[in-house]
Amino acid sequence: MLNTLSKTYSMAGFRVGFALGNERLIAALARVKSYLDYGAYTPVQVAAAAALNGPQDCVEEMRNTYKHRRDVLLESFAKAGWTLPKPSASMFVWAPLPDQFKHMGSVEFSKRLMEGAELAVAPGAGFGEYGDGFVRIALVENEQRIRQAARNLKKFLQSNAAPAAE
């Protein structure tokens, strides 16, 4: 198992993590890693140890914040016309492209969202060959900003609605 302190302890960019598992595999990983880098800066290691060994109420608080943001996003985006699957544990929502935009792929759809709804998402194409039908939405904004994004999204979807079949 590999894990990092990036999201759980708000240490993104510090590049601190750990690996747990079979002793032989971890020893091999340590050997390979020793050729790649020299370890984290000592104050970062001290901060990581303090995070892991200190009170953990901040973790529950962070989980609740992301859960609430997720719920606000799912509800408000559904009202805007884009129903998304509910992730069980993540600070991201992986959203399939709305039907009327699937033909353009995730990169073009992301550009259109940016220009037409002032909504920034990560194109799924950047995450591998199976990602192109999706965008990744980060739950980094507060609820007010999420609701504003949903209002912008609603206008965007209405102005780009597929023409009715005759």
Please, what are the domains in the chain? 2-54 (no CATH), 58-159 (3.90.1150.10)
Q: Per residue in 93-105, pLDDT tens?
A: 999 999 999 999 9
- Give me the phi and psi of 92, to 5 degrees please: -130, 150
Q: Per residue in 36-81, pLDDT tens?
A: 877 788 999 999 999 999 999 999 999 999 999 999 999 999 999 9
Reported pTM: 0.81
Instruction: Give the pLDDT score at 161.
Output: 74
Instruction: Give the pLDDT score at 64.
Output: 93
